[in-house]
Structure 1
């Protein structure tokens, strides 16, 4: 069932988001950054991580479990390692500063490693590796998150969906941009289905009693299943070890729920790695080799049902190009939630729609 109500331009949707965050107590520059990041997710077709999350983020600010104006601090540990304290602010802000720091370290040392603690949910993980790609760097981004999936053999939430992202810049061809959760499906997509009253396919989640379900609301209150069974659960565990245990952030089930727990800040952990692409070959040779790799991959014989071979990140980039031209689709429910959020902060955004 198509629940799309309207197509909204990129600029108009960014303006709406910026106004709502400014009225929610964020500094103007910070509000603009987060607004662009959320709309970037909508542009790439990841609507579960886009502007539909604005009411939830602002509610956490009102509940005082997110600091609207954080004093983010960066501590250099070695010539190639830094630690960022997010001061319980929006994770987008700590994430971008951390990747900037990783890139700066990599300029000097060839590789930069930056840990982050006292952060919160940082949105679409692709944001940070795209940031590195645009600067010409190879990168990886790790994060932990609130419990969403069980350890292999368990039935209660313990590990986060914890998306992993990686990026490799290209020359003339498309860069490699991977962004994937450790679950069969991103938990945010289940939340969106629950909001719309839509079912989800079987095999994605268990309800709170550990029973397989296609009811999105029960699934969101239960546990998501890891992709690849034990392999996905093991990778989710690695994400918690690197982003949580290593950085000094919360870990092992202690990250507070983004949706249901307003008792205290989340203390999410992230880990960013930036690598200079000219460490072993020249930049020109690296670019040529990347272009050759992409050409070789795309020229391979195609499996039945496939007209084209795409590099990770290419489908989302094509969606972004189309939505920039045509507009970003928003459902009635999302539009209504943004209008209601404006009313809460005494700003009328209905005229934008």
Structure 2
């Protein structure tokens, strides 16, 4: 059997007494070889796309700087200050905040049952107060740009989403009612008791019928003149503050004015991204409380309305573009819900087995 260099010659695999193949036939065989591997090339391209998708949900740690004998003692000193001095002070601040909040909130909630308007106003102020204590427990340095939101009907606020602390940072300035995934544990307890007074709307991502219920509640909420401004994170999941994924169209198809909010965190002091698949919210808060500070900018941007001839999807993309440009985020065309529907290892093993069998069959033919 002959071989010319590293190229595959079809004639080398034919019997010696066979009729030589014309060039056109040889070209067809090469083309068939290419078509045989096209599914594999398609899968490889899919793997590249998947890689760009997963980068949206990865926390990129900063480069280590304590690599020599001069810097390492300074790094150790920083660890001692953050964990031994700042952290106990922050725990004390948050504890005082919770004591003041709970003693006041439940007194207002039960003693002012017959005075709904006064009770709601006081509860709103108390929720803003506890959010201020939370931000103080991270040594939060938040700079707000633009006019403060006002309570108006037919108005929805949308923002990019990095962590559940986005809501806390925005709530300390304005009493928003938020649409949020229902969480277990102590966070779920707060949702069903304290945050319920703000008119918040909860959903369960695993239940498809929840979408119609949530859409109906959104329409009812924005029609109320006395309701808190409605805050929605249309990405539907936390993204690492470097990218923005597709906005869900629900907030953009009900005919309300959409007010974009852009949030950008400074990763030099703390990584505010919450990867809910790898850590609980409690652990995330402890990570923030043992960092130097949470530094971020918040921009209240120009309100937007659906243009003539514009679809809700195009409206959502236009608002996402406005937020992404202001916050310096890279737009990617992926649905954030794909984060919760990854292929199982069994599926990958089946595809690998199928590819191996096709390669073996091809070798046997040759």
Which range, TM-score by smaller chain?
Answer: under 0.3
Per residue, is there more helix in 1 or in 2?
Answer: 2
Q: What TM-score does the superposition give when structure 2 sets the normalisation length?
A: 0.24
Per residue, is there more strand in 1 or in 2?
Answer: 1
Q: What TM-score does the superposition give when structure 1 sets the normalisation length?
A: 0.25
